[in-house]
Amino acid sequence: MILENTQILKVSKNLTEKDDIEKLSFAADIIRKGGTVCFPTETVYGLGANALDSKACEQIFEAKGRPQDNPLIIHLDNADKAENYCHTKDSAGFVKLKHLMPGPLTVILPKKDCIPMTVTANLPNVALRVPENKVAHKFLELCDVPVAAPSANISGKPSPTKAQHVIDDLFSKVDVIIDGGDCDVGLESTIVTLATEPPTLLRPGAVTFEALCDTLGKVDVAQSVLSEMRPDEKAAAPGMKYKHYAPCTPVYLLAGDDDKVKEYILLLSDSDKCALILFSEDIKALSGNINPEAKIIMDMGAKDDIPSHAHAIFSHLRDTDKIPELDKVFVRITGDKSGLNLAVFNRLLKAAAYKIIEL
Ligand code: TXA
Ligand code: MG
C-alpha cells in the first residue's frame, strides 16, 4: 500500500456529481504511483494496479491471497490501444471481436515484451478487456496505463458485485476502493482465447457462446467449463483449477421440475438449517409452508429472467456466509445451458463443487 489507510471514494454511476472526476483522477494517480485501486465494471469489481509495473502487480497477488501462477487480465479504455501490449495485427479474430468491445468480454492474445511476466504468470499470452461501465471507462482513461485487475475478492470467494463486498474482503489491504454502485451483469466476463485454432471459450459470460460463434465461426469450449478437471490436467485458464465462487457452507444444486423441487424442499428436516436460493415462482408456491427459523429463503428472480439470476447469485452466495450455523445451501437451476444460462450454470457448478441433486 502507498496510502496509510484504505480510502473509499463514492462516485455516481453515470458520473453526474460534480466531484466524481476529481475522485477518479485521485485514484488514477494512485495507480500511476504504484498503488492499488478497486473499481466497478459492468461484470464484477476489479482490484487494479499498473500492468507495466511488476512491483505494483505483486501487491494484487498479496492482497487477494492469489496463487502466483494465476495470470491477471489487463484493462484498457479503448480496444485500439491493444496493439501496444499484444500482437493484434495478425489476428483476424481480434478484428472481428472488436465490435463486442467495450463489453463483458476478455480476449487472450500473444503478449508484447512491455507486459511483465508477473501479469501473465510466465505465459506467453495476455488477457485483455475493455469494460463498458462509465466509471471504469473514465478511470482507465485517466490512468493512461493498462490496469491489471482480477476480481476484487479474497481468492476462492464469490466475486464482488457491490462495493460492500469489496470492503468486506479487502479493506486495509488496498489503497482505494471506488464505490460506483452495483455491477449490472454480476458475473465475470466471457474469456475467449485466440491462441488456439479454432478459438476456445475458457469462461462463459454475458457475451454468449452463440454470439462468439456468430462472430468467429467455429469456437471450442474448454472442458473445464462444464466438468471437473482431473488433478493431472493442465488448465487452459490457470484460474479454473482453483476452488472458486464457493461460500463457507456446502452448496447443492436442485435440478428438476417445479413440483418435485417443491416436494423435496418440504421434506427437508428442520433440524438442518438451510439457505434456499430459489426462483420467485418457487417461493410463491412454498409460501406459508416453510419454517423461517430453519429455512432462509433468497429470491434469484423469475424462472425465465436469466439476467436476474446472473445479477443475484454471487451476492446471495456471499450473504449465506453471514448466516450463523448454516448446514447447507440449496440453489435452484434451470438445467438449460444456452445463452447466459451457460455462465450461471458454470459458476453454480463450481460453487457447488459439482453436487447436483436431480429430482
Ligand atoms: O469480468 C472480469 O473478467 C473481471 C473484471 C474485474 O474485469 N475480472 C476477473 O479476473 O474476473 P479474474 O482474475 O478473477 O479471472 C481471470 C481469469 C482467471 O481464471 C485466469 O486464470 C484467466 O482469466 N487468465 C488470465 N490471463 C490468462 C492467460 N494469459 N491465459 C489463460 N488464462 C488467463
Ligand atoms: Mg476472480
What is d(CA 61, CA 64) in angstroms, rounded to the nearest whole number? 5
pLDDT tens-digit series, residues 37-69: 999 999 999 999 999 999 999 999 999 999 999
Q: Which range (63-77, 238-252, 306-320, 329-343) has the least confidence?
A: 238-252
Q: Which range (36-40, 163-167, 231-235, 252-256) has the least confidence?
A: 231-235
Nearest to 251 by CA among 150, 331, 306, 148: 331
What was the pLDDT predicted at 90?
79
Q: How far is CA 125 from CA 58, 110, 128, 217, in A?
A: 18, 4, 10, 22
Q: Is the CB of 177 under 6 A from ligand 1?
A: no
* Residue 243 pLDDT > 80: no
Residue 8 β-bridge partners: 177
Q: How many residues are present in the chain?
A: 359
Read off the DSSP letter of residue 250.
-
Q: Is the CB of 151 under 6 A from ligand 1?
A: yes
Ligand 1 atom, smallest distance to 240 CA: 19
Whether the CB-CB separation of 323 and 296 falls below 8 Å is answered with: yes
pLDDT tens-digit series, residues 169-217: 999 999 999 999 999 999 999 999 999 999 999 999 999 999 999 999 9
The C-alpha torsion from 57 through 62 and 63 to 69, rounded to 10°, is: 70
For ligand 1, mutation pick of 39, 68, 70, 73 (most atoms within 8 Å of CB): 73
What is d(CA 137, CA 115) in angstroms, rounded to the nearest whole number? 21
What is d(CA 277, CA 320) in angstroms, rounded to the nearest whole number? 10
Per-residue HEC secondary structure of 286-340 comes to HCCCCCCCCEEEEECCCCCCHHHHHHHHHHHHHHHCCCCCCCEEEEECCCCCCCC
Banded model confidence at residue 89, pLDDT cuts 50, 70, 90: confident
Reduce the DSSP state of residue 8 to 3 states and report it: strand
Which H/E stretch holds residue 339? none
Look over the chain and give the mean of its residue pLDDT values, rounded to a whole number. 95
Q: Is the CB of 125 under 6 A from ligand 1?
A: yes
pLDDT tens-digit series, residues 18-30: 999 999 999 999 9
Q: Is the CB of 44 under 6 A from ligand 1?
A: yes
For residues 81-87, average pLDDT: 95
Sheet holding 356-358, edge to edge: 295-299, 274-278, 328-332, 251-255, 356-358
Whether the CB-CB separation of 182 and 45 falls below 8 Å is answered with: no
- Which numbered ligand comes closest to the C-alpha of 236? 1
What was the pLDDT predicted at 88?
87
C-alpha grid cell, residue 359: 429430482
* Residue 233 pLDDT > 90: no
The phi and psi torsions of 106 (rounded to 5 degrees) equal -120, 135
What is d(CA 91, CA 153) in angstroms, rounded to the nearest whole number? 33
Q: Greater confidence, 280 or 287?
A: 280
Reduce the DSSP state of residue 53 to 3 states and report it: coil
Longest dimension (CA), the chain: 63
Other CB atoms within 10 A of residue 139 CB: 31
- Which numbered ligand comes closest to the C-alpha of 155? 2
Nearest to 30 by CA among 64, 7, 52, 63: 7
